[in-house]
């Protein structure tokens, strides 16, 4: 518990900003995670054109 509290103290500005502002970057993070997963699945399998097509179809 002490380690958690120290981490909050060190990131005090970020914690206050997260509580003060109504917006979040969670949606963007989810899209980035999905893109990375797709890139890993497609690695070494096909050309860039096919990867591009799959990315555009999943959005």
DSSP secondary structure, 1-59, as one string: -HHHHHHHHHTHHHHHHHHH-S--SHHHHHHHHHHHHHHHHHTTTS-HHHHHHHHHHH-
Note the pLDDT of residue 9.
86
49 is a domain residue = yes
Residue 51 lies in a domain: yes
* 56 within domain boundaries: yes
Residue 8 domain-assigned (yes or no): no
Tens of pLDDT along the chain (59 residues) come to 889 888 888 988 888 888 898 888 888 888 899 889 988 888 888 788 888 888 888 76
Q: State residue 3's pLDDT score.
A: 92
Q: Which domain holds residue 47?
A: 25-59
> How many domains does the chain divide into?
1
Domain presence at residue 32: yes
Residue 38 counted as domain residue: yes
Instruction: Give ∠ CA 57-43-28 in degrees, rounded to 5.
Output: 50
Residue 52 is assigned to a structural domain of this protein? yes
Cα–Cα distance, 48 to 40 (Å, whole number):
13
Does any domain span residue 36? yes
């Amino acid at each position: 518990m002490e380690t958690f509290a120290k981490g909050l103290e060190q990131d005090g500005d970020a914690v206050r900003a997260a509580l003060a502002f109504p917006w979040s970057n969670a949606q963007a993070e989810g899209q980035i995670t999905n893109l990375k997963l797709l890139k890993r699945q497609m690695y070494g399998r096909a050309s860039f054109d096919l990867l591009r097509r799959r990315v555009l179809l999943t959005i």
